[in-house]
A and B are shown apart, each in its own frame.
Chain A
Amino acid sequence: MQDQKRILIVDDDQDFREAVSCFLQAHGLTVFQAHDGQEGIRLAKLERPDLILMDIMMGERTEGFFAIQEIRRDPALKGVPIFVLSSFCTRLPDFEIPSSGGWLAHDMFFTKPVDTVQLLDRIRQRLGKAA
């Protein structure tokens, strides 16, 4: 099972993390959980996940944006797909993309509550057969 794909979920709502993690684990993925942006950045650097699920509004602020920028600044994490899961907005708001980090063409946006079947489908598409 060493080929199991590794997902990091960053969300300040414990229940949301729990539900999504359980679903992904039941479908054979390894899931790490982070409860805020800082912890998300730390785990991303430490665990080098294959894909990151990121909330935007955490702790009354749009912490997810900063976490994404910070993660993208790390050369080792530059190519990791980041899927945004947010109830904060129905589409990604326009915001300044710094040259050192930001969005990649294959990043995706999902509205919360998220359609888990579709999410799994997209994760598999992105990560190839091994997922």
Chain B
Amino acid sequence: MSEPVAPETVVVIDDDYAMRLSCTKILTKMGLHSQTFEDGARGLEGVATAKPGLVVVDLKMPGISGMEVVSRVHEIDPQIVIVVITGYATIDTAVQAMKCGAYDFLPKPFSPDELRLIVNRGLERRRLALESQQHEIEQTMLKRRFVTFVSHQLRTPLVAVHQYLDVLKSLDQSSEVQAKRQEWTDRCLKRVEELQDLIADWLTLARVEGGTLTKERIKVDLSRIIPDILKTYEQTAAAEGVSLQSHLPESGLCVAGDRNCLSVLFDNLITNGIKYNQPGGTLTVSGSPSDGEIVIAVADTGVGIPEKYRPYLFDEFFRVKDEGAKKTPGTGLGLHICKRIVSEMGGTISVDSLAGAGSTFWVRLPAWHEPESPGGSPTDAGPKTNTDCG
């Protein structure tokens, strides 16, 4: 799209030779490519082949009427901007033409400046219309891809479970299946859990995107909620051989947000830090206020994230494709959800990682500001009414 664009073509349809000549002169001077035709029939043919951005058409011509030309041009391409030329006596007709879809009209006689102005305006309008059309196409593509992808993601575990059950049923008595029964039942349970996780994550994402999870802005002290989350993962971490550490102040990490939403955010980061760690590893959560922000770092001692994957880490459905990471179940939505939550709250999330030495996720959220008292002057901003979160 950034390549040099060929000059826009403008088609002029007018039975008056002098008019065609002067229009061509003006349009060429504007850097446009102009083509002229002396009647409606030829003009429409010309429009079909030249694919102009704008058509100037005289309303009063022998043969096909200008009015008909207007509607037939839009049958060829509804995005073509049409300007009609009309004598003073036919202003009513011009209005009629605009009702048929013409963009504007030029009453005869008109000056070169008037033509230039109206052509420029028309082309600008067309550019905006095409841009928004392009944007719409991209959005639809994205949505269509998302639905295809999610349905495939949902279907894959279902297919696996179905296939296991199908084979278990049809080979009920055979020795091959007897030996596998226990293992397959466990695998089926794992796949069902995978499906449940995906549905839960998808739902969370839909809520974050719909704004229902991020609407509320109450004072939440992260130094209170993060230890609670850590506590719920003590057993999981122990099972994985990962020790949990917290370097958080007792209070004072206050942000404005929704408690559930913030829980989802740190829950995701902490589970990742445990999942992508290694036996004997550590997960450390630390936090401090800094420059009007609350900075939380969630650091693991896992294998780290190769640099080439880092730019995509927060994209929806992105998963690191290395062998180790592939074995860890995940929906590919967790970090995307984190990013959505953080940006809805006006903060940022980023990652530092050293191959082999683990990753640190940094969350920066705007610190909580006590609402100013109604009579307070702007100069005494931030009266330290709250000792916790000054």
B residues adjacent to A (C-beta < 8 A): 149, 152, 155-156, 158-164, 166-167, 170-171, 174, 176-177, 180, 184, 187, 191, 317, 321
Residues of A within 8 A of B159 (CB): 13, 16, 87, 112-113
Residue in A57, A87, A114 whose Cβ sees the most chain B Cβ within 10 Å = A87
Residues of A within 8 A of B191 (CB): 15
In contact, A22 and B187 (Cβ under 8 angstroms): no
Q: Is A4 interfacial (CB 8 A cutoff)?
A: no
A3→B1 CA distance, assembly (Å)? 60
A117→B289 CA distance, assembly (Å)? 64
A116→B184 CA distance, assembly (Å)? 17
Q: Is A109 interfacial (CB 8 A cutoff)?
A: no
Q: Is A25 interfacial (CB 8 A cutoff)?
A: yes
Can you list 9 A-B contacts with CB-CB less than 8 angstroms, sorted by A residue number? A13-B156, A16-B163, A18-B164, A18-B184, A22-B171, A22-B177, A112-B155, A112-B159, A113-B163
In contact, A116 and B180 (Cβ under 8 angstroms): no
Residues of B within 8 A of A57 (CB): 152
> Chain A 14-44 against B: per-residue CB contact (8 Å), 1 yes, 0 no?
0110111011011000000000000000000
In contact, A23 and B170 (Cβ under 8 angstroms): yes
- A71-128 interface (Cβ within 8 A of B): 87-88, 112-117
A114→B164 CA distance, assembly (Å)? 11
A60→B156 CA distance, assembly (Å)? 12
The 9 lowest CB-CB distance pairs between A and B, nearest first, are: A15-B160, A113-B162, A19-B163, A26-B176, A112-B159, A23-B167, A19-B167, A87-B155, A113-B159
Residue in A88, A113, A116 whose Cβ sees the most chain B Cβ within 10 Å = A113
Residue of A nearest to B190 (CB): A15
Task: Return B382 CB to nearest CB of chain A, in Å.
Answer: 49
Residue of B nearest to A25 (CB): B176
Residues of A within 8 A of B176 (CB): 22, 25-26
Residue of A nearest to B149 (CB): A60
Residues of B within 8 A of A23 (CB): 167, 170-171
With A25-B176, A87-B152, A88-B152 in contact, is A20–B167 under 8 Å at CB?
yes
Instruction: Indicate which residue in A13, A60, A87, A116 contacts B167 across the interface (CB closer than 8 Å).
Output: A116
Residue of A nearest to B155 (CB): A87
In contact, A22 and B180 (Cβ under 8 angstroms): yes
Residues of A within 8 A of B167 (CB): 19-20, 22-23, 116
A20→B158 CA distance, assembly (Å)? 15
Task: Return A83 CB to nearest CB of chain B, in Å.
Answer: 15
Residues of B within 8 A of A13 (CB): 156, 159-160
Residues of A within 8 A of B321 (CB): 59
A59→B152 CA distance, assembly (Å)? 11
Residue of B nearest to A59 (CB): B321
Residue in A19, A22, A23, A116 whose Cβ sees the most chain B Cβ within 10 Å = A19
A25→B167 CA distance, assembly (Å)? 12
Known pairs A15-B187, A115-B166 / 11 extra A-B pairs, C-beta < 8 Å: A15-B161, A15-B191, A18-B184, A18-B187, A19-B166, A20-B163, A22-B167, A87-B159, A112-B155, A113-B159, A116-B166
Residue of A nearest to B154 (CB): A87
Residue of B nearest to A112 (CB): B159
Residues of A within 8 A of B317 (CB): 60
Residue of B nearest to A115 (CB): B166
In contact, B170 and A116 (Cβ under 8 angstroms): yes
Residues of B within 8 A of A60 (CB): 149, 317
A60→B171 CA distance, assembly (Å)? 32
A18→B186 CA distance, assembly (Å)? 14
In contact, A26 and B171 (Cβ under 8 angstroms): yes
Residues of B within 8 A of A59 (CB): 321
Task: Return B317 CB to nearest CB of chain A, in Å.
Answer: 8
With A87-B152, A88-B152, A113-B166 in contact, is A19–B174 under 8 Å at CB?
no
